[in-house]
Amino acid sequence: MSLLPILKWPDPRLAQPCAPVTDPKAVESLVTDMFETMYDAPGRGLAAPQVGVMQRLFVMDAGWKEGDMTPLVCLNPTIMSATDAKTTVTEGCLSVPGVTADVTRPAEIRLAFTDLTGAAQDITLSGAAATIAQHELDHLDGVMHFDRLDAAARDALLAAYTAGQDT
């Protein structure tokens, strides 16, 4: 196991869509390293492109910071449905340290994905787990959390981030 370097915005790989995972067994070591990196960061989710691997894979653990370990590995995830009900959550991102944004997303989703054994999974997520999964899935499509903001809010957030990087 080893810690992986986390790409920081504006690395261009963070804006690129990822290719599907074709062999779950081939990413087992990567998944182990991604969990170690995520917990060390400390984050609740980490997508493969954030560590420079351009494949449709993310790991997450919505409850570990509260002492409830719920690790989840999602290969080739797809949102099958989402509720009309929305929730606004202040989201951070390991690739944009120190920057948070209030992002509105569906409060509950049905997520289909492949697990590490190659089996198809279909689960319903709500609360923090739904937000985390949507945030990480965005990374697989080359979308950052600040891309979900209106132009003025996005520009202000990125200007503050860029100014902080110059110091």
* Domain edges within the chain: 12-165
28 is catalytic: no
How high is the mean pLDDT of the chain? 95
Which residues pair with residue 78 across a beta bridge? 112
- The topology under which CATH files domain 12-165 is Peptide Deformylase (3.90.45)
22: pLDDT confidence band, cut at 50, 70 and 90?
very high
**pLDDT value for 161:** 85
* Distance between CA atoms of residues 17 and 11, nearest Å: 13
The tokens for 89 are: 């959550």
163: pLDDT confidence band, cut at 50, 70 and 90?
confident
**How many residues appear in the chain?**
167
Catalytic residue among 36, 66, 108, 136: 136
Model confidence over 49-60: pLDDT tens digits?
A: 999 999 999 999
Task: Indicate the pTM of the whole model.
Answer: 0.95
**pLDDT value for 166:** 64
